[in-house]
Structure 1
Amino acid sequence: MEYTPLIWGITLAVIIGLLLFDFFAHVRKAHAPSIREAAVWSAIYIALALLFGLVFLVVGDYAGATEYYAGYVTEKALSVDNLFVFLVIMASFNVPREDQQKVLLFGIVFALIARTAFILAGAGIISVWSDVFYLFGIILLLTAGQLLKKELTGDEADEADNIFIRLAKKVIPTTDHYDGDRLFTRVDGKRMMTPMLLVMVAIGGTDILFALDSIPAIYGLTQEPYIVFTATAFSLMGLRQLYFLIDGLLDRLIYLSYGLAIILGFIGVKLMLHALHENKLPFINDGESVHVAEVPTGLSLLVILAVLVITVVASLLAPKGRALRVIQNAEQSSRTYLALVESGGTQQELDAARESVDRWRARYEKVPEKHKDALIEHRERYLAVLDDAHGVEHRELRPEDLGGPARG
């Protein structure tokens, strides 16, 4: 299939139109989307991405369809991993939940721009230097190794204190507080940068680093720039809604990094095999092609899907994953109950909340100590919340606790 300037133009117009719609329909007015809103729009964007792949089948480009779907699934998986970092950054800066949508949309737009630049650069390099696939393969293998090292050692980089943040703080005076979703504010008549802009700088900087991994990964599945761009663009569409939908689930995907390491390692090997097949380096086989078996894109798609399914299922069913679910729910149920007591919930709401506290507290007591030590960052603070809810639950509630007149 030939991808003419007209096709590129229509595709770009569709992508830009979706981004503008997302901004004006959902992000312009600051709010925290409900689970239902996030679920509906996540499903819509995923459906659009899958339907777009059918266009390749309609015109008879079956290879293009397979490459597109393989690229989309890989980039989507990497995008979900990016959400972990976005979550850490926004938690580090204490971004108000109602303003997180704007930060995420900025991250998506910046990621799309950065990755488009890398896509065009990659296509240009490939056209003049086919041996660049060796470099792409090495990058992915090193990235896979770093993911495994991080999981095995527990070393975490401070994503909210990267070089871009330090540079921004030195150049521009910064306040310690937010002013709505404004990027700049005035303090004593002096124009200053708010933490909101710092958050966007942090996410923009990490987007550039992510592009260094994701673009070589998808070029390992297809060398067609149009397919690379569309698979990458559609993988980023709906990422904002997905963030709010799986916010509580992200932490439970405890083996996702292992799965991504396997996928990146697999694609890295695939790239190395392709590089050997296209070899022109004089110190390898005298600059001649090396006859090695290459991995078909269809098989790559099956491997990627299988690894992701196994990773998610293993994360949710593993003892550590179940323990994390209990720990999170025990804390959340306790906070919900305490909030109801403070705000004045109805007796029915309080009874249901107390029942939830009882249920999750009992399950928490059965969690092995090794999982509690590994999964609870601030043990004393965590237990204080559970104990507060337990203490309130077992005393007689007074009328003022319920926020209304005495009930007869």
Structure 2
Amino acid sequence: MSHELYFFGGFVIFIILMLAVDLGLFSKSDKPITLKAAAIMSAIWVLFALAFSLVLYFWGNELHNVHDFATLQAVIEKHYHNITPIGSDLAASLQLYNKTLTIEYLTGYVVEYALSVDNIFVMVLLFSSFGIPEKYYHKVLVWGIIGAIVLRCIFIFVGAALIAKFGWILYVFGAFLVYTGINMYINRNKEEEVDPQNHPVVKFASKYFKVTPRLDGGKFFHIENGVRYMTPLFLVLLVIEFTDLIFAVDSIPAIFSVTKDPYIVFFSNIFAVLGLRSMFFLLVNIIHKFHYLKVGLAFLLIFIGAKMLLHSWLESFGFETIHSLIIIVSILVISVVASLIFPKKENLTQ
């Protein structure tokens, strides 16, 4: 357990330091993030995520202090890894185990990153509906990411505990993901709308706290006559946190289809969430061009859900995590390429 805490603690400290640097560099100036800055930020987070995969590849066994066959077998059974130790060769077996962790992490990262794209559609809509100036987007998103990390940490480890105690819950997750994917496909062309006045989070905040409709620079709270008021900036932050909670209900079970190790789920999930902020600024003005992406995400959820429902049958045919990664990447590439080759026809008005 101490190794897991050291690994986890080191990861969390690194994330806190990076977010502190991010806040210090970008949030104080309250200036819109340029496309160049967004591209650099996105590249940096992707590089960090890939660098972490190398850490797992070379030292992944240190996560659970796996240094002998008994511990290796126990960890494999505990986290349902679809691997078999290589005879009496401990070094080769540990290498196989580390390789498996790495593939599971990368697959989970791709799944979460892909599903986060749908979150961007909603964020754009929220900022527009609440009348938030573009220069404040970054500040709201950074604090939103911090809240998302805490919430997802709770979700992931509670989910892992439930799976360990009730194995059948995987079938519930699978059925839910298939349903969500089918529902997303059916509603793929439906225009989403947000009514700031009637949103349940806004209603709750307005009922129990003082709220002002006026922005006060980049402040989350405004003090007037000694009374503290929530500004629209803080309200949209609350709504984004609530929205992320809803998205987590889909995305976290999806990653559990890839790996049952809660630490690998957490690492892949958090790196993808951290990259979401910079990806938002990179895609905010062009995301409408990828009109087949929702179709791709719908099929992605259906595939992941079906895999959870049929995992025993698929494993008997030699289906491995690397095959899932290939299928997932293929679905995403096809949806993006199709969007570019067959652009959406604009409605012309006379």
**Structure-2 residue corresponding to 1:232:** 269
**Structure-2 residue corresponding to 1:69:** 106
SS of match in other structure, 1:201: helix
- Contact 2:125-2:193 within 8 A present in 1 as well: no
Q: Kindly report the root-mean-square deviation, in angstroms, between the aligned alpha carbons of the 2 structures.
A: 2.1
- TM-superposed deviation, 1:195: 0.7
1:314 aligns with 2:318: no
Flag the structure with larger Rg: 1
Given the two structures, how large is their TM-score scaled by the length of structure 2?
A: 0.83
**Structure-2 residue corresponding to 1:271:** 308
- Contact 2:289-2:343 within 8 A present in 1 as well: no
- Contact 1:89-1:159 within 8 A present in 2 as well: no
- Contact 1:85-1:159 within 8 A present in 2 as well: no
- TM-superposed deviation, 1:304: 0.7
- Contact 1:141-1:268 within 8 A present in 2 as well: yes
For 2:277, give the aligned amino acid. Answer: R
Give unmatched runs, 5+ long, in structure 2: 60-94
- TM-superposed deviation, 1:137: 0.4
- TM-superposed deviation, 1:167: 0.9
C-alpha distance in 2 between matches for 1:306 and 1:142: 22
SS of match in other structure, 1:32: coil
Gap change, CA 1:159 and 1:110, over 3 Å in 2: farther
**Structure-1 residue corresponding to 2:217:** 180
Given the two structures, how large is their TM-score scaled by the length of structure 1?
A: 0.72
1:299 aligns with 2:335: no
The residue correspondences of 1:64-213 to structure 2 (distance < 5 A) are 64-152=101-189, 154=190, 156=192, 158=194, 160=196, 161-187=198-224, 190-213=227-250
- TM-superposed deviation, 1:262: 0.7
Q: 2:347 aligns with which of 363, 372, 394?
A: 372
- TM-superposed deviation, 1:292: 5.8
- Contact 1:78-1:214 within 8 A present in 2 as well: yes
- Contact 1:270-1:295 within 8 A present in 2 as well: no
C-alpha distance in 2 between matches for 1:78 and 1:48: 20
For 1:315, give the aligned amino acid. Answer: S
The residue correspondences of 1:287-366 to structure 2 (distance < 5 A) are 293=317, 295-320=319-344, 323=345
For 1:38, give the aligned amino acid. Answer: A
Gap change, CA 1:227 and 1:188, over 3 Å in 2: same
- Contact 2:254-2:301 within 8 A present in 1 as well: yes
Q: Count how many residue pairs are aligned between Structure 1 and Structure 2.
A: 311
- Contact 1:101-1:240 within 8 A present in 2 as well: yes
1 or 2 for the larger relative contact order (CA 8 Å, sep ≥6)? 2
Q: 1:242 aligns with which of 279, 286, 290?
A: 279
Query: More displaced, 219-228 or 242-251?
Result: 242-251
**Structure-1 residue corresponding to 2:53:** 53
- Contact 2:107-2:258 within 8 A present in 1 as well: yes
C-alpha distance in 2 between matches for 1:137 and 1:194: 40
- Contact 2:149-2:270 within 8 A present in 1 as well: yes
SS of match in other structure, 1:185: strand
C-alpha distance in 2 between matches for 1:296 and 1:162: 43
- TM-superposed deviation, 1:190: 4.2
SS of match in other structure, 2:310: helix
